[in-house]
Structure 1
Amino acid sequence: MKKFIIAIATLLVLSIFLSACGSSGSSGGGGDTVTLKLAHSGSDTHQYQTAAAKFKGLVEEKSGGTIKVEIHGNATLGSEAEVIEQVMDGTIDMTTVAADSSLANTVPEMNLFGIPYIFENREHVYSKLDGEPGKKLLSLIDEHNMKGLGFWEVGFRHLTNNKKEIKTPADLDGMKIRVQPAPVWEAHMAALGASATPVNFNELYSALDQGVVDGQENPLPSIHSMKFYEVQKYISLSAHTYTPAVVIMSNNTWDKLSDEQKTVVEEAIAETTKYHRESLAEEEAEIIEELEGQGTVINEPDRAAFKEATKEVKDAVKDQVPAELIADMEQH
Structure 2
Amino acid sequence: MTISLTRRVLLGASASLALLGTSAMAQDKIQLRLSSVSSETDQRSVAMTEVFGPAVSDFASFEPHWNGTLFGQGTELEAIASGDLEMSITSAQELATFFPEWSIFAAGYVLQDAEHQVAVFNDALMDPFKKTVEDELGVRLLAPMYLGRRQVNLRQSRAELDVKTPDDLSGVNLRMPGSDAWQFLGRALGANPTPMAFTEVYTALQTGAVDGQDNPLPTVVDAKFYEVTKQIALTSHLVDWNFIALSSEVYNSMTPEQQEAVTAAAVAAADSGRAAQLAKEEELVAFLQDKGLDVYEPDVAAFRSHVQEAYLGSEFAASWPEGTLEAINALGK
In the alignment, does 2:58 pair up with 1:60? no
Partner of 2:318: 319
Q: Partners in 1 of 2:293 and 2:41 — Cα distance? A: 20
- CA positional deviation for 1:207: 5.2
Within-5 A mapping of 1:127-166: 127-142=119-134, 143-160=136-153
In structure 1, what residue type is equivalent to 2:46? T
- CA positional deviation for 1:151: 0.9
Pick closer, same or farther for the CA change 1:73–1:185 going to 2, 3 Å. Answer: same
> Equivalent of 1:74, from 33, 54, 67?
67
Is the CA contact 1:154–1:244 (under 8 Å) kept in the aligned structure 2?
Answer: yes
In structure 2, what residue type is equivalent to 1:138? K
Partner of 2:31: 35
Within-5 A mapping of 1:224-235: 227=223, 229=225, 233=229, 235=232
Partner of 1:97: 90
TM-score, with normalisation over the residues of structure 1? 0.73
Pick closer, same or farther for the CA change 1:254–1:216 going to 2, 3 Å. Answer: farther
Partner of 1:195: 193
In structure 2, what residue type is equivalent to 1:128? V
Is the CA contact 2:173–2:194 (under 8 Å) kept in the aligned structure 1?
Answer: no
Is the CA contact 1:97–1:246 (under 8 Å) kept in the aligned structure 2?
Answer: yes
Partner of 1:9: none
Pick closer, same or farther for the CA change 1:112–1:216 going to 2, 3 Å. Answer: farther
In structure 2, what residue type is equivalent to 1:313? Y
Partner of 1:86: 79
Pick closer, same or farther for the CA change 1:19–1:45 going to 2, 3 Å. Answer: closer
SS of residue matched to 1:323:
coil
In the alignment, does 2:267 pair up with 1:270? yes
Deviations 1:56-93 (A, max 9, x none): 3xx434442x4122222233345532333333333332
In the alignment, does 2:47 pair up with 1:47? no
Is the CA contact 1:174–1:193 (under 8 Å) kept in the aligned structure 2?
Answer: yes
Is the CA contact 2:32–2:62 (under 8 Å) kept in the aligned structure 1?
Answer: yes
Within-5 A mapping of 1:225-264: 227=223, 229=225, 233=229, 235-264=232-261
- CA positional deviation for 1:271: 1.8
Q: Partners in 2 of 1:87 and 1:97 — Cα distance? A: 11
Q: CA RMSD in A?
A: 3.7
Q: Partners in 2 of 1:68 and 1:171 — Cα distance? A: 53
TM-score, with normalisation over the residues of structure 2? 0.73
Q: Partners in 1 of 2:78 and 2:200 — Cα distance? A: 25
Is the CA contact 1:117–1:240 (under 8 Å) kept in the aligned structure 2?
Answer: yes
Is the CA contact 2:177–2:195 (under 8 Å) kept in the aligned structure 1?
Answer: yes
Pick closer, same or farther for the CA change 1:252–1:286 going to 2, 3 Å. Answer: same
Q: Partners in 1 of 2:253 and 2:200 — Cα distance? A: 41
User: Aligned residues: percent identity?
Assistant: 20
In structure 2, what residue type is equivalent to 1:74? N
Q: Partners in 1 of 2:225 and 2:327 — Cα distance? A: 36
- CA positional deviation for 1:147: 1.4
Q: Partners in 2 of 1:266 and 1:198 — Cα distance? A: 40
Is the CA contact 2:30–2:61 (under 8 Å) kept in the aligned structure 1?
Answer: yes
Deviations 1:244-286 (A, max 9, x none): 2111123343344444432221110122233333333333211
Deviations 1:223-262 (A, max 9, x none): 55x5464787353311113222111123343344444432
Pick closer, same or farther for the CA change 1:162–1:173 going to 2, 3 Å. Answer: closer
Partner of 1:118: 110
Gaps of 5+ in 2: 1-12
Q: Partners in 1 of 2:283 and 2:213 — Cα distance? A: 21
- CA positional deviation for 1:150: 1.7
How many residues are treated as equivalent by the alignment?
Answer: 301
After TM superposition, the structure 1 stretch with the greater mean CA deviation from structure 2, 155-164 or 316-325, is: 155-164
SS of residue matched to 1:264:
helix
In structure 2, what residue type is equivalent to 1:269? A
Gaps of 5+ in 1: 1-11, 26-31
